[in-house]
Structure 1
Amino acid sequence: MPNDTLAKHLFHWENQTIEWAMRLRVAFYIAEALEYCSNEERPLYHDLNAYRVLFDEDGDPRLSCFGLMKNSRDGKSYSTNLAYTPPEYLRNGRVTPESVIFSFGTVLLDLLSGKRIPPTHALDMIRDKNTLVLMDSHLEGNFSTEEATTLVDLASQCLQYEPRDRPDTKKLVTTLELLQRKSEVPSHIMMGLEKQHEEAPPLQQPLSPMGEACSRMDLTAIHQILVTTHYRDDEVTNELSFQEWTQQMRDMLEARKRGDFAFRDKEFKTAIECYSQFIDVGTMISPTVYARRSLCHLLCDQPDAALRDAMQAQCLYPDWPTAFYMQAVALAKLNMQGDSLDMLNEAAKLEEKRQKNTRVS
């Protein structure tokens, strides 16, 4: 897919943001793809987000097959940023077709706002009737208020706490088809494809050893740096009271310890299993564990899973350069070179900011 991802055009654009008509087209095409998956008895599309939507040579949006590769019959293979996870998955660890509708609602928020907004915050804005505040300022008002209101309402329905209150894919397609027809414009015009093939900008900041290793995709060097860094970058201390110190907690920490030993000894599949045991309990959080598991996935040739873990690390620690560096490597492995370079630049900026703050303090 030569024209990058929806995430690239929404969050990292340099020349021209996506016009309103194309945003409607993206929403409609995704809804159609989800309905097709449902009709083919593959309703559990995992990790639906802006990185899953790709643009073909004609500028038309396509839904990546990555979300079906992790499809499971027991509904336990769902993984996404915690802030955007369906409530029922946090409650019982299971994902249903209705959970996919929730994820679709988060993509609608991306299309409306041009940035990542946690669903709870967006719903507060919608309840307070601040829908115009929700809209992407880069659209400069070039959208139909009526269409925007319909899309906001649809997003609100998709993000309902109870799965049974969310619409099905048929309703999504019906609603969005009406909106999309009103805004039918050739996709190459809406995307500004004449600008899409410009070379990515050069790195804007000098790179640290971690940055250099990631820019070279030197996984061995990254591994050595993460082993040396250990857990010193974890902002969350997870101090536990005596009452909270249960057998489950001890088992969880033991799983992380086994993962650390396996990671150090380059037994990466074992490390993935142990770190997953630690993460699945959910009582303690650690961006370092996600970064380490991300590298393990890369070394096991699983770049899609690596990208998810790096995004999770960023969600837990938004200003952590390592989370961005790991995303850069995963995106490069997925042949998303422009996005990868953006992440390298962002990580380098965060490192420079850190160094300045250290010098001041």
Structure 2
Amino acid sequence: MGVRCSKLSLCFWPSNPNLNDLSDNENGSRNEKDLLPGYREFSLDQLKVATAGFSTNNIVSEHGEKAPNVVYRGKLEDERWIAVKRFNKSAWPDSRQFIEEARAVGQLRNERLANLIGCCCEGEERLLVAEFMPNETLSKHLFHWEAQPMKWAMRLRVALYLAQALDYCSSKGRALYHDLNAYRVLFDKDGNPRLSCFGLMKNSRDGKSYSTNLAFTPPEYLRTGRVTPESVVYSFGTLVLDLLSGKHIPPSHALDLIRGKNFLMLMDSCLEGHFSNDDGTELVRLASRCLQYEPRERPNAKSLVTALSPLQKETEVPSYVLMGIQHGMASPKELVSLTPLGDACSRRDLTAIHQILEKAGYKDDEGVANELSFQMWTNQIQETLNSKKRGDAAFRSKDLATAIDCYTQFIDGGTMISPTVLARRCLCYLMSDMPQEALGDAMQAQVISPDWSTAFYLQAAALFSLGMDDDAQESLKDGTSLEARKHRN
């Protein structure tokens, strides 16, 4: 369940949203061991069959160059869906150490975890096998929602269930969790949040424990390079900020708002009127305690559970109802193949992107409103069109600086809007190693044409260049979904 593990594991126990009836850790663990298959070692051939030869169509999560590990979905012979994390060739050179570490994680069994059910260690291959979660990641439901924003009661439930997962792991001697973030939180068939077991192991024996932006990394990790239980609580605090705001806010900025008693500025505008000030204040206070600079001043996992339990609302309502998702054991949706532009953006093949955009011309600008008065037409339109014409000529010849200047004159003129011009300037910025500017253009093109897949694909290319691979994968999926919907219509 790495960073874009959008989907990990079918669950085989009944959901129990009534928090008062939750069994204790030991009883819950024993019951779940009866319902889940025991931990085992798989052969490489078994996993090849399950994943159709590690087909790219079965990739559900993919890290970047800093941590090149890929997660595939697969189906075993008994029809059980699984998630398979495949490490890069140089990870875990000591096979015995890998097997021992995986076996230790595989002994954990809890309804708050997407549990590890096996591993494979053959030759240079190192693979982990976990339950498959069919209902996407917290990142998807919190930052990229389509039908409805996540409800306040569900956000509180996510925080509690994660705290319970961390508390369980701590009680079993596995308090260290690497790179806890919104992509590590997965939703099962009942809509209940689960913590990915993959984070209980590093990306490699000597690999870094954090692949996120440094602004979200625990301060002591930056000093020592070591993860401690207190570091995990810090990362939990950043997740609470995500739940509060519906955005990925750097802790330093959030703490400034909290100290200035502007905590309502943190709150997701979609939540207005749906929570009490007391509950909001309590959750903000808990986040600030988790984010204390000194590790010893942060609460432990058990304290998090104690603090979050009284805040729970609508405990009788099943998670899938709160989430607005379908309930049941539905098989994962088939992945839609990337279009040529989507594929080129995923590979950051700028030459191929240039060829596709040039060939497409301005056909996607059709229907974009350009309401101009006669006065504006006579006085300004010719100059604006000339700027675009010069920009197009420079774009064809890959005279990037000239193309950027001319397209900028066209855009700044303000007499016409063109998502295609923004897309072309975006590519020029990418080819000029200016990914931040490119991202801005791709996002502006999306504002003008919200259903234009090209804008999402170009965002993905820019995000890949910025090292934001998780968000890039999400943009690729959004673009692919739009393209598929367009063809269906």
Q: TM-score, normalised by structure 2?
A: 0.45
Root-mean-square deviation (Å):
4.1
CA distance in 2, matches of 1:324, 1:341: 18
- 2:207 maps to 1:65: no
1:2-46 Cα shifts (integer Å, max 9, x gaps): 211111111001111110100000000000001111111111101
DSSP 3-state at the match of 1:17: coil
Structure 1: give runs of 5+ residues left out of the alignment.
237-316, 332-337, 347-361
CA distance in 2, matches of 1:322, 1:76: 19
Q: Which structure ranks higher in relative contact order (CA pairs < 8 Å, sequence separation ≥ 6)?
A: 1
User: Aligned runs of 1:26-65 on 2, under 5 Å?
Assistant: 26-65=158-197
| 1:351 match | none
CA distance in 1, matches of 2:212, 2:470: 17
Say whether the 8 Å CA contact 2:180–2:236 is kept in structure 1: yes
1:264-293 Cα shifts (integer Å, max 9, x gaps): xxxxxxxxxxxxxxxxxxxxxxxxxxxxxx
Say whether the 8 Å CA contact 1:47–1:103 is kept in structure 2: yes
The one-letter code of the counterpart of 1:85 is T
User: Aligned runs of 1:195-274 on 2, under 5 Å?
Assistant: 211-214=342-345, 232-233=432-433
User: Structure 1 segments of 4 or more deviating over 6 A?
Assistant: 71-75, 195-200, 223-226, 343-346
1:275-331 Cα shifts (integer Å, max 9, x gaps): xxxxxxxxxxxxxxxxxxxxxxxxxxxxxxxxxxxxxxxxxx999343489737985
Say whether the 8 Å CA contact 1:44–1:72 is kept in structure 2: no
Counterpart among 462, 473, 482 of residue 320 in structure 1: 462
| 1:309 match | none
| 1:7 match | 139
Say whether the 8 Å CA contact 1:113–1:136 is kept in structure 2: yes
CA distance in 2, matches of 1:80, 1:329: 11
Counterpart among 279, 302, 305 of residue 173 in structure 1: 305
Say whether the 8 Å CA contact 1:125–1:134 is kept in structure 2: yes
Say whether the 8 Å CA contact 1:75–1:96 is kept in structure 2: no
Say whether the 8 Å CA contact 1:325–1:344 is kept in structure 2: no
| 1:151 match | 283
CA distance in 2, matches of 1:38, 1:191: 28
Deviation at 1:92, TM superposition (A): 2.2
Deviation at 1:69, TM superposition (A): 2.6
Say whether the 8 Å CA contact 2:435–2:462 is kept in structure 1: no
DSSP 3-state at the match of 2:136: coil
Say whether the 8 Å CA contact 2:238–2:291 is kept in structure 1: yes
| 1:342 match | 478
DSSP 3-state at the match of 1:320: helix
DSSP 3-state at the match of 1:46: coil
The one-letter code of the counterpart of 2:199 is G
| 1:116 match | 248
DSSP 3-state at the match of 2:168: helix
CA distance in 2, matches of 1:325, 1:123: 25
The one-letter code of the counterpart of 1:133 is M
- 2:139 maps to 1:139: no
CA distance in 2, matches of 1:190, 1:53: 17
DSSP 3-state at the match of 1:66: helix
CA distance in 1, matches of 2:463, 2:208: 30
Say whether the 8 Å CA contact 2:460–2:476 is kept in structure 1: no
Q: Which has the larger radius of gyration?
A: 2
Greater strand share, 1 or 2? 2
Q: TM-score, normalised by structure 1?
A: 0.59
Deviation at 1:212, TM superposition (A): 2.9
| 1:23 match | 155
DSSP 3-state at the match of 2:150: coil
Say whether the 8 Å CA contact 2:180–2:199 is kept in structure 1: yes
| 1:262 match | none
CA distance in 1, matches of 2:239, 2:326: 26
CA distance 1:326–1:83, change in 2 (3 Å):
closer
Say whether the 8 Å CA contact 1:10–1:17 is kept in structure 2: yes
Structure 2: give runs of 5+ residues left out of the alignment.
1-132, 354-426, 437-458, 483-489
1:134-168 Cα shifts (integer Å, max 9, x gaps): 11111232112211111100000000011111000
DSSP 3-state at the match of 2:283: helix
CA distance in 2, matches of 1:77, 1:38: 18
CA distance in 2, matches of 1:214, 1:319: 5
The one-letter code of the counterpart of 1:153 is R
CA distance in 2, matches of 1:319, 1:69: 29
Say whether the 8 Å CA contact 2:185–2:193 is kept in structure 1: yes
| 1:245 match | none
The one-letter code of the counterpart of 1:320 is A
CA distance in 1, matches of 2:212, 2:181: 9
Say whether the 8 Å CA contact 1:9–1:18 is kept in structure 2: yes
DSSP 3-state at the match of 1:50: coil
CA distance in 1, matches of 2:472, 2:279: 36
The one-letter code of the counterpart of 1:158 is C
CA distance in 2, matches of 1:43, 1:169: 9
Say whether the 8 Å CA contact 2:179–2:199 is kept in structure 1: yes
1:53-111 Cα shifts (integer Å, max 9, x gaps): 11111111101112113178999633322110001111222221100000000000000
Deviation at 1:208, TM superposition (A): 8.0
| 2:363 match | none
Counterpart among 253, 262, 275 of residue 130 in structure 1: 262
CA distance 1:59–1:345, change in 2 (3 Å):
closer
Percent identity over the alignment is 60
